Amino acid sequence: MNRTTQESVGSDVDADAGVVGIGLSSMVKTVAFTRASLAAAKLTPREHEVLSLMAQGRSNSAIAGRMLVSEKTVSKHSYNIFTKLGLEPSEDDNRRILAVRAYLDG
């Protein structure tokens, strides 16, 4: 792997051993994600229910239908979940997936 490729993927490579290491940004995200997992205990029962349905791959519309609430209510619960898990809006990360991972790992 040349230097340019190595820098673009954000990995450390030991050319002699053929080992690829995790880049610093990935390590920081993992630490933040672990912190987010611990915060999951602060979710309300309804937020846990929404997150559980997210983990099942349900859309907001499907979650609303299942819980007999509006999509706006599901969106509000989702926003609260993201906030409580410390998942800020980002161009690079999908907060819904990160929240589900926190739920599954927690």
What are the residue ranges spanned by the domains of the chain? 25-105
Whether the Cβ atoms of residue 90 and residue 96 lie closer than 8 Å to each other: no
Q: What is the pLDDT of residues 4-47, one digit of tens each?
A: 444 444 444 444 444 445 455 554 555 555 555 655 568 899 99
Which letter does DSSP use for residue 23 in this model?
A: P
- The model's pTM: 0.64
At 104 the pLDDT is 85
Q: What is the pLDDT of residues 39-92, one digit of tens each?
A: 556 889 999 999 999 999 999 999 999 999 999 999 999 999 999 988 899 999
At 105 the pLDDT is 78
Distance CA 68, CA 83 (A): 23
Determine if residue 95 is left, alpha or beta; phi over 0 gives left, psi from -120 to 50 gives alpha, anything else beta: alpha
The CATH number of the domain covering residues in 25-105: 1.10.10.10
